[in-house]
Chain A
Amino acid sequence: GAVVSQHPSRVICKSGTSVKIECRSLDFQATTMFWYRQFPKQSLMLMATSNEGSKATYEQGVEKDKFLINHASLTLSTLTVTSAHPEDSSFYICSATDRGPSGYTFGSGTRLTVV
């Protein structure tokens, strides 16, 4: 089945620094990938839709200059949290679909802690 690899799984960074999270589709091409954020005991919230070769589509309330998304190839999308602040600490998950019956496949998630 479809496999999505995400790393790092866990990162701790200092306030003001930037963190890059990678999401790769390992055995299929994903023209579209999705980035979600999940705060403790809350549901997954879609942040943005990443489109290969074009600009990402951000959900309302998500700062595009703060959460930079690059989808340069059919198998790789990156999310960069710029000038991170403690309130950016969250669980970030990417997903992609091969448009088959398996629905959306999720990466294993990245737990970001900003100190």
Chain B
Amino acid sequence: RKEVEQDPGPFNVPEGATVAFNCTYSNSASQSFFWYRQDCRKEPKLLMSVYSSGNEDGRFTAQLNRASQYISLLIRDSKLSDSATYLCVVTSGTGGFKTIFGAGTRLFVKA
């Protein structure tokens, strides 16, 4: 079993749709969780950190479920510019230095 698993997609959605991604992790001692966005041939950029209490940033909502060991990302009112690959990132270990990336979920938002 992979340490961090994501559905690779692609998710093809129309503009304005709501789309949700999940990411599961195997290490129950994992400490920090992030969602990154990566555009084609570019470096990943932090989209948002994921907290146990859940957090929201505009159209994006991230949640953490420690009991079931997954994190989720919800995108509301999808825009064309949301088309990208969304990477789930999980860190663990002393100082959080073991960082595992999910393989990413590809999202295509179409007009």
Contact = CB atoms under 8 A, between A and B. Distances in A.
Nearest to A36: B101
Interface in A69-115: 91, 93, 101-109, 111
A107 B101 CA distance: 16
B109 to A, nearest CB: 19
Interface in A32-81: 32, 34, 36, 42-46, 49
A106 B42 CA distance: 10
Contacts, number: 43
Interface in B81-105: 87, 89, 95, 97, 99-104
Contacts of B49: 101, 103
B41 A103 contact: no
B57 interface: no
Interface of A: 32, 34, 36, 42-46, 49, 91, 93, 101-109, 111
Given A32-B95, A45-B101, 9 more contacts: A32-B97, A36-B101, A42-B103, A43-B101, A46-B101, A91-B41, A93-B43, A103-B36, A107-B43
